[in-house]
Amino acid sequence: MPLRMWMLDIAREQSPTLDHLRRYCRVSLDSGYEAIGLYFEHRFAYPSTPWSHGVGCVTPAMIRTLESEFPGLQLIPFVNLLGHFEGMIYTETGKRYAEEKFQGMQACPVDSEFVALAERLVDDTLNCFSSEIVHIGGDETWQLGKGAKSAAQVEAYEAEGASDGKAELYGRHFGPLARRVLDAGRRPAVWGDMFLDHPTALDHMPAETLIFDWQYFKGLADTSPKFSDRGFDVVGCPAFHVYNATWMHLPETERNVREVHRDVVEMGLFGTCVTTWECGLFGAYDTLLPAVRAAGGVLHGDSSPFLQAYLKESERHEEWARLMGVELQTAGGTFAFGGIRSSLKVRLLLQANPFLAWLHHAEELCGEVGDKALDVIERAFSVAPTEAEKGVALFARSAIEFVRLAEVARQRYAEARPGEAASALAPTRQLFDDLEKVALRSVERIGGSRADVERCKAAKAAVERAI
């Protein structure tokens, strides 16, 4: 039987309680998944890293409870043991493991202390989870060879005759970690992207390693054969296009899930893992659950459109999803489909200065793009069936309103009317107060982003300084 699973991105600031995780597990089983992936980074309470445990992280006790209550569902841990290690290296204790000082997200693979830590994290994971599959990460390690120690090692490998020193560096790091999982009677899994860049690194991986080939904008025809032809089992990984959207790009999400799974079936691959990423920045996982169910249907051959899953909830759910997931992107500009994080979300909140959203988006949001988007968002807000959908729509509306008010303030200030400029900005204080309440409710309701609460406070403080 092929593997059918989806992945929950806990690392992006989610703080689910045991009850929230129970809900995800129930949805998984009801949707026909045999497994749920829990993508952690620093959001799991590894016994070996008490210095990294943030508020609301998942604990070993929670996993033991879930495994006992949901024996028919495999809980697969996704552990990061090189790249995407920023949650560890941006702590006082963990900073010594960084590949480069004050930059990047990667640890140093030739640092013996880090290698020992990675081994302990593998052991922690094996002790805390009973899953057959243990995913040890490996994606987006773009800093290979950047630090002095790593650069010297890459040079040494190539001096010894290696055609790609970075491949040696990568493979000699992950090969032993995968073997450690295998020796414990489990099956190691890794992301496939770095092997596409450095194919000789595969020479160091145990043949039993599962390769998770993530392709979020196309199918698997160009990539998966590079693994399967070498004898590796491959899991195809499409994505929900949430990270690059105000809510979710629904047509592109459905297309990607169907295309990747079709290739999995036609190529006889090991299975499919539907990934979801970055539900911080006012995403709301409970608004995605109908799509999770729809994707589960696709993995069982269902041809029903994703919007049908929202219609099963209610007509208002379907209309809201159509407006926010389909119609909104036709406004263009920052709302159009693209390949990177939503620039509006990043600039309004992530970078701790909401005026960056005004600086980069004033022209479009004060013009036709903003008018079109606001019309769609207002209609979505009016039909939103629950507070989860209302919160997403409120964020989108508030982003446009902030940019427009900031532009009015700029104009008044340019006219040497500073009092009127300050008055134009004053309503944005309430705007961020209201968004803070939405973020708090998301934490309570579904274990959402606690960081969004603090971001709203920081945005309001920036407004206060400007006034």
Q: State how far the alpha carbon of 29 is from the alpha carbons of 20, 35, 463, in Å.
A: 15, 8, 46
**1 has pLDDT over 90:** no
**157 has pLDDT over 90:** yes
Q: How far apart are CA 341 and CA 8, in angstroms?
A: 18
- Which pLDDT belongs to residue 265? 98
Is residue 467 within 8 A of residue 426, CB to CB? The reply is yes
Can you list the domains of the chain with their CATH numbers? 3-319 (3.20.20.80), 326-466 (no CATH)
DSSP state letter for 285: G
Q: How far apart are CA 223 and CA 178, in angstroms?
A: 21
Give the mean model confidence (pLDDT) for residues 259-278: 98
- At residue 92, φ and ψ (nearest 5 deg) are -65, -40
For 356-379, write each residue's pLDDT tens digit.
Answer: 999 999 999 999 999 999 999 999
Tell whether the torsion through CA atoms of 189, 339, 253 and 322 is positive or negative.
positive
Is residue 197 within 8 A of residue 145, CB to CB? The reply is no
What does the DSSP assignment read for 55-73?
A: TT-B-HHHHHHHHHH-TTS
Is residue 134 within 8 A of residue 190, CB to CB? The reply is no
Q: How far apart are CA 70 and CA 169, in angstroms?
A: 39
Is residue 402 within 8 A of residue 354, CB to CB? The reply is yes
What does the DSSP assignment read for 133-162?
A: EEE------TTTTTSHHHHHHHHHHHHTT-
For 423-458, write each residue's pLDDT tens digit.
Answer: 999 999 999 999 999 999 999 999 999 999 999 999
Q: How far apart are CA 97 and CA 461, in angstroms?
A: 33
* Those residues with Cβ within 8 angstroms of residue 407's Cβ, 6 or more apart along the chain or in another chain: 358, 362, 366
Is residue 408 within 8 A of residue 424, CB to CB? The reply is yes
For 199-224, write each residue's pLDDT tens digit.
Answer: 999 999 999 999 999 999 999 999 99
Predicted model pTM: 0.97
